[in-house]
Structure 1
Amino acid sequence: MFENRFKSLTIPRFTLPGFVATVGNKLPQWPHALALTAGLNAVVKMKLLAEDSLNLLEGRTFLIDVLDTGGRAAFTFRNSLFRPLFTAPETPDLAFRANLSAFLQLAARQEDPDTLFFNRELSIEGDTELGLIVKNMLDAMEWPSFPSMPAFRH
């Protein structure tokens, strides 16, 4: 029952008010990179990403820029692990920029990167070949199914 409710969840397109990014830009950015790399490394440990594709990421730098929150996460892939960068590189090998709603839609697989890119809701900058590797890796990833949770009764 829980799974069915989650699957029917639709994330609308939205843009947070401008003051959120103004405040977010003034905050330290490294906690975002720590959280993101912890999640990515969990996905690596669960073997949800193809190892041969991961090898192509070795030594490359990445930036995720959530425009309407002012949050940024810079990271690299080195020695089989994603590692946070405490200072964003001036020109990362690959950068993704979008509002929070677009990233949530991607994570929920409600929208694919191509649609968001062609609708100008997702900006991808940097090494084109690396971008295709990352896109294909994400497209090929199969999320594990979790057992249904019993419905809560009052």
Structure 2
Amino acid sequence: MSQRFNIPKFKLPALVARIGVHLPQWPHAMTLTAGLNAAAKMNLLPMDSLELLEGRSFLVEVLDTGGRACFTYHAGLFRPLFSAPLTPDLSFRANLSAFMQLLARQEDPDTLFFNRELSIEGDTELGLIVKNMLDAVEWPQLPKLPVFSN
């Protein structure tokens, strides 16, 4: 029996974001860049697309957590930026559930964007490069876990 886990649309209470914006933001950037670098090392991200990201700045903001991750791609690595540029080349803003749905491939960026659940601002050409790069990722298949019932 194959069960697919669906991530529901949700929004965390406003208190979470009010607290989250006051917490250090660098751990978010460190974690995100570590994951992106791992994906690049596993050849999940196309090298020709990565080269087009050289020197560009990115911001990922999770609205309902108050979390922000700023990073760049330089000399073959994603690197955290410890202070956000005034105007990043490309920024993505959404609630946690939208990012989770995107990562799980439950929703695509176009649907989230047109449903106003994902905001993308900045360089349009760069945005298309990133979107196409993410669409091309072939996630490795994880082994199926046994389903236990009572």
TM-score (norm 1): 0.93
Deviations 1:83-131 (A, max 9, x none): 0011111100000000000000000000000000000000000000000
Counterpart of 1:34?
A: 30
**Rounded Cα–Cα distance in structure 2 between residues aligned with 1:115 and 1:88:** 28
Letter in 2 for 1:94: L
Counterpart of 2:110?
A: 114
Share of identical aligned residues, percent? 72
What's the secondary structure of 1:26's corresponding residue?
coil
Gaps of 5+ in 1: none
TM-score (norm 2): 0.95
- Number of residue equivalences: 150
- Structure 1 runs, 4 residues or longer, greater than 3 Å off: 149-154
Question: Going by fraction, where is helix more abundant, 1 or 2?
Answer: 1
Mark the CA change 1:115 to 1:153 in structure 2 (over 3 Å): closer, same or farther.
Answer: closer
How far off its partner does 1:136 sit?
0.1
Letter in 1 for 2:120: I
Gaps of 5+ in 2: none
Letter in 2 for 1:101: S
**Rounded Cα–Cα distance in structure 2 between residues aligned with 1:111 and 1:145:** 18
**Rounded Cα–Cα distance in structure 2 between residues aligned with 1:153 and 1:117:** 38
Is residue 2:135 matched to residue 1:143?
no
Is residue 2:9 matched to residue 1:13?
yes
Root-mean-square deviation (Å): 1.4
Deviations 1:35-84 (A, max 9, x none): 00000000000001110000000000000000000000000000111000
